[in-house]
Amino acid sequence: MDEVKLGDKVKCKLTGIAGVVVAKAEYLHSPPRIAIPEPGSTKNEWVWLEVAQVGRA
């Protein structure tokens, strides 16, 4: 498994918590990250997001 770097695209599943959209990468063992999905995305939808931060939140 290659190490994730800034700018990489990762497949994430969106969840909604108190109106905040959070994405957890499919294959990363890390806490969920606050992310900005593409317009029109819905909760529990798999989307591709760009990595904006690597490391612990």
Q: What is the mean pLDDT of residues 38-49?
A: 66
Sequence ranges of the domains in the chain = 9-50
Pairing of strands 46-50, 20-25: unpaired
pLDDT at residue 18 greater than cutoff 50: no
pLDDT at residue 8 greater than cutoff 70: yes
Q: How many residues does the chain have?
A: 57
Task: Compute φ and ψ for 46, nearest 5 degrees.
Answer: -85, 125
Least reliable range by pLDDT among 2-6, 7-11, 12-16: 12-16
The answer to whether the pTM exceeds 0.75 is no
State the pLDDT at residue 19. Answer: 45
Is the separation of the CB atoms in 16 and 35 below 8 Å? no
